[in-house]
Structure 1
Amino acid sequence: MNHTSTRTDQPPPGGSAVRRAFFASLTGTALEWYDFAIYSVAAALVFGEVFFPSEDPATGTLLAFSTYAVGYVSRPLGGFVFGRLGDRIGRKKVLIATLVLIGVATLFIGLLPSYATIGVTAPIVLVILRFAQGVGVGGEWGGAVLLSSEFGDPRRRGFYASAAQVGPPAGNLLANGVLAALGLLLTEDQFMSWGWRVAFLLSGVLVVFGLWIRTKLEETPVFLAMEAAEKRPEAPIREVFTTHPRALAAAILSRIAPDVLYALFTVFVLTYATTELDMSRGSALAAVLIGSTFQLFLIPLAGALSDRINRRLLYGLSAAAAGVWPFVFFPMTSGGSWPLLTLGVVVALAIHSLMYGPQAAFISEQFSPRLRYTGSSLAYTLAGVVGGAVAPLLFTALLDAYHSWIPLALYIVITAVVTIAGVWLGRDGSATDEEDPLGPPAAPADAADRSVRPDGAATR
């Protein structure tokens, strides 16, 4: 199909604009993931006792992780609502709205009375606030990716898009760091009574900082071109499902293994280390902190590496490594050695980085620029429902049922196979995608005549 290129006289963004967009994408996402991660850690360590008291600790943990899952289940709503708005009214406005939504929800969680104070109302309100958090995160990721990648050089899309990917480990690092500091400064009773709330209340300060950064940004050149040409999509959700079905499937499947692997080694590992390995909460948190610190550097490096070698090949090989590592990790840590636990978490999160760094670019380049926010958000959120949402619940249930790590490792293998299939279904991006932001991708993933060379590159 011939397509007439539509261009504008918008000058290319300068280096300062690119740096501001990269920093805003990174810091804004980190702040939102601080909110999300502080909940994840609290669900593993605190909420079972505070909001879901039960004579059986395993039951309390399962109930707490069920609220963790709500944050993933609600993401598709955020993806549908904010993804559509991002392609209709602009990236910047939506990113400000998502930051406010998740920040306010987190602040209210910090103020929520416990089950002992207001009874069953406490867990009900907690679920509602967690739902709001998930809606905000569901609308955040796609916009954060586009914010940096659409300002940056399309030949370095892997690196620039990775700014949003650094947000989760940075937020996780900050969240775990705050909780670890509180755990060291307070007694167990003080921490369980009110100390954990401090971490949630800090969110208010962080959100003000994030808003200050994002309000100073300009809109991305791609959206400005769409707006100037009056070519914004009228029904972006319908267009994605009808014109990009293979692209959407590839993007969804590619996210499964990274989500589940991350849930295992940043959330469930806290429960596993304290209950199965008899380690202290502080020791388990320290291991995750160290692994997350390495990710701050490994994720952008992996994104940059994917600009130099085939992105899909790197992604697929890393997914295969993810399927193998649990068979090393669990036997290695069975003796309860903290150094070995830390090494295992670091290696696992390094493997995750090799998938997660290129992931943002891989997913966004599956869709035409005018549908990127919607397509990327839908893929991100729908994958989260079947990936990260149920992972801690399944890990807990499998361990409780079989008292063995082998079912957990086999679960990771299955997710790795699914992700490799998604990468195979996808397409390789092209720097020329940016030359015509109103047209289709250079080589649509749904094209019937698509073939793949042995090195993984798409041909026509």
Structure 2
Amino acid sequence: MTQTPDAGPSVEAGATGPASTAAPDAAQIRRVVGASLVGTTIEWYDFFIYASAASLVFGKLFFPALDGSTALLASFATLGVSFVARPIGGIVAGHLGDRFGRKSILVATLLLMGISTIGVGLLPGYASIGVAAPILLVVLRLLQGLSAGGEWGGAALMSVEHAPPGRRGYFGSFPQIGVPIGLLLANLVFFTVSALTTDEQFAAWGWRIPFLLSVVLIAVGFFVRSRVAESPVFTELRRRRARRSAPLAEVLRSNRRELVVAIGLFIANNMIGYILIAFINSYGTRTLKLSSTTMLFVGMVGAVAWGVFTLLAGRWSDRIGRRRTYLIGTLAMAVWAFPFFLLFDTRSIPLMLVAVIVMAFGLGLTYGPQAAAYAELFPAGVRYSGVSFAYAFGAILGGGFAPLLATWLIGLTGTSLSVSAYMLLACLVTLAAVLALRERSAAEREAFVIGSAPAGH
């Protein structure tokens, strides 16, 4: 039986009629989806090359005074500090996006990510500038976190709010696949560079190439994003002068339940995603004694599978509902938490590929519907603030320090099954959020997204 959530008062309460719903222009939708996909791909390429470098070279380069395991922990800690900046980026971008529009914030976050990524590629190591090197690394990582905190909400909303009725889950999945595509691209570049250089060359200068190549991607992304139209939902809010002066305060006052549910929905996906993104590289090379090229190849296969299942999940969520799609994906990740590492520990490449592909199924089903599900939780006038805040805090509680904690758990227990238990715990938290997610009918979802649902619906 379909239930209708209490999403708090609609920002259009008191309006005389529904928001303008002119038929979407197909060419404009393609431009918007392309811009969201290209932008998130670039953002996450930049993010993931940092994760790969943190697991492969940053320990020795920026923390040479520490022993191997401690240096790796310090390197993963710099990966995690960006998640501290994410809520700030989400709050700032959400506030500005709800007040001044989605498009301009998307361009700004893209440029900030590009500048900080190129900065990492040019940063001297500890041997050249001493303690200033790790300090500057943390500063640049914080800037990446600010960008990532504001990027996703705008890209997701542009795709969902431009999408035609009944297909918002599918179109909302396109910015989502920017994550696995960015992961694939990052691993492909690292794989190529590591294959063409010796270990000494890679550690000395080869790792910098993926960071510096970001300048080309940023130029392409800036050009594409500058050509898209503003979200029609925001355009209507601006016409009605229905924007809020303090959107986050309104979310915290009127949509606390939705905020908690949205945060919980992301915890398992983000935690397990970062195990796949960052931890298995170091685990495979340091503990299982496999080559970095082997681990990068496994990561690339996982990224392709993740992207495919994400797109399928967006389409499925339009047909069977967001809640049911989330439920299948969360249960799949929970069931697979222990087999994942049992297969990995065999050191058999075919079995490792099975491990990542099956886990990618659960990741895709809990990531594909996210943009649409989040948009359907928060009223239009405070939506950017709500989705950005929830996404950022879900990332902190989920993936922010997952590689660090996974490394610590294996050091403490001596077994990878402790990480499996950690993954299962995250799945149980998300399962509670999924069960608390109230499904809307297709008509109710559509009315809410365009801002014409009456107060209390």
Does the alignment reach a TM-score above 0.5?
Answer: yes
Which of 385, 401, 405 aligns to 1:394? It is 405
Once the two structures are superposed, what CA deviation does each residue of 1:206-226 show, in whole Å capped at 9, x if it has no partner?
101000000000101001000
Deviates more, 1:201-210 or 1:429-438: 429-438
Aligned position for 2:343: 332
Q: Establish whether residue 171 from structure 1 lines up as the match of residue 163 from structure 2.
A: no
Helix, strand or coil at the partner of 1:155: coil
Helix, strand or coil at the partner of 1:356: coil
| Deviation (angstroms), 1:250 | 0.3
Q: Is the 8 A contact 1:365 1:441 kept in 2?
A: no
Helix, strand or coil at the partner of 1:347: helix
AA of the residue aligned to 2:352: L
Q: Is the 8 A contact 2:307 2:364 kept in 1?
A: no
AA of the residue aligned to 1:77: I
Q: Establish whether residue 240 from structure 1 lines up as the match of residue 251 from structure 2.
A: yes
Aligned position for 1:447: none
| Deviation (angstroms), 1:3 | 4.3
| Deviation (angstroms), 1:246 | 0.4
Helix, strand or coil at the partner of 1:257: helix
- Cα 1:406–1:442 change in 2 (3 A) is farther
Aligned position for 1:180: 191
Which of 281, 288, 292 aligns to 1:270? It is 281
Aligned position for 1:128: 139
Deviates more, 1:218-227 or 1:7-16: 7-16
Q: Establish whether residue 201 from structure 1 lines up as the match of residue 212 from structure 2.
A: yes
Which of 344, 350, 353 aligns to 1:342? It is 353
Instruction: Measure, in 2, the Cα distance between the counterparts of 1:240 and 1:410.
Output: 34
Deviates more, 1:116-125 or 1:423-432: 423-432
Once the two structures are superposed, what CA deviation does each residue of 1:334-353 show, in whole Å capped at 9, x if it has no partner?
22111211221121112110
What are structure 2's unaligned runs of at least 5 residues? 1-8
- Cα 1:408–1:369 change in 2 (3 A) is same
Q: Report how many residues are paired.
A: 444
AA of the residue aligned to 1:231: A
Deviates more, 1:238-247 or 1:421-430: 421-430
AA of the residue aligned to 2:185: L
Helix, strand or coil at the partner of 1:255: helix
Instruction: Measure, in 2, the Cα distance between the counterparts of 1:327 and 1:31.
Output: 32
AA of the residue aligned to 1:136: S
Q: Is the 8 A contact 1:287 1:341 kept in 2?
A: yes
Once the two structures are superposed, what CA deviation does each residue of 1:385-410 show, in whole Å capped at 9, x if it has no partner?
11111111110000011101222111
Instruction: Measure, in 1, the Cα distance between the counterparts of 2:98 and 2:426.
Output: 31
- Cα 1:75–1:422 change in 2 (3 A) is same
Instruction: Measure, in 1, the Cα distance between the counterparts of 2:404 and 2:331.
Output: 23
Aligned position for 1:415: 426
| Deviation (angstroms), 1:153 | 1.6
Instruction: Measure, in 2, the Cα distance between the counterparts of 1:103 and 1:213.
Output: 15
| Deviation (angstroms), 1:333 | 2.6
Instruction: Measure, in 2, the Cα distance between the counterparts of 1:227 and 1:413.
Output: 44
Q: Is the 8 A contact 1:369 1:440 kept in 2?
A: no
Instruction: Measure, in 2, the Cα distance between the counterparts of 1:338 and 1:189.
Output: 26
Q: Is the 8 A contact 1:73 1:384 kept in 2?
A: no
| Deviation (angstroms), 1:124 | 0.2
| Deviation (angstroms), 1:205 | 1.0
Give the TM-score taking structure 2 as reference length.
0.94
AA of the residue aligned to 2:387: S
Instruction: Measure, in 1, the Cα distance between the counterparts of 2:125 and 2:206.
Output: 13
What are structure 1's unaligned runs of at least 5 residues? 445-460
Q: Is the 8 A contact 1:369 1:439 kept in 2?
A: no
Instruction: Measure, in 2, the Cα distance between the counterparts of 1:336 and 1:77.
Output: 41
Which of 93, 109, 124 aligns to 1:113? It is 124
Aligned position for 1:285: 296
| Deviation (angstroms), 1:92 | 0.3
| Deviation (angstroms), 1:322 | 0.9
Within-5 A mapping of 1:48-447 = 48-429=59-440, 430-435=442-447, 437-438=450-451, 444=457
Identity across the alignment (%): 42
Helix, strand or coil at the partner of 1:150: helix
| Deviation (angstroms), 1:237 | 0.5
Aligned position for 2:48: 37
Instruction: Measure, in 2, the Cα distance between the counterparts of 1:49 and 1:388.
Output: 23
Once the two structures are superposed, what CA deviation does each residue of 1:257-291 show, in whole Å capped at 9, x if it has no partner?
00011011121011111122111000000001011
AA of the residue aligned to 1:348: M
| Deviation (angstroms), 1:83 | 0.6
Deviates more, 1:7-16 or 1:369-378: 7-16
CA RMSD of aligned residues (A): 1.6
Instruction: Measure, in 2, the Cα distance between the counterparts of 1:410 and 1:295.
Output: 22
| Deviation (angstroms), 1:317 | 2.5
Instruction: Measure, in 2, the Cα distance between the counterparts of 1:443 and 1:309.
Output: 24
Instruction: Measure, in 1, the Cα distance between the counterparts of 2:438 and 2:285.
Output: 42
| Deviation (angstroms), 1:80 | 0.4
Instruction: Measure, in 2, the Cα distance between the counterparts of 1:145 and 1:320.
Output: 25
- Cα 1:315–1:60 change in 2 (3 A) is same
- Cα 1:426–1:417 change in 2 (3 A) is same
Give the TM-score taking structure 1 as reference length.
0.93
- Cα 1:152–1:115 change in 2 (3 A) is same
Instruction: Measure, in 2, the Cα distance between the counterparts of 1:425 and 1:10.
Output: 31
State the structure with bigger RCO (CA 8 A, min sep 6), 1 or 2.
2
Instruction: Measure, in 1, the Cα distance between the counterparts of 2:389 and 2:447.
Output: 24
AA of the residue aligned to 1:71: S
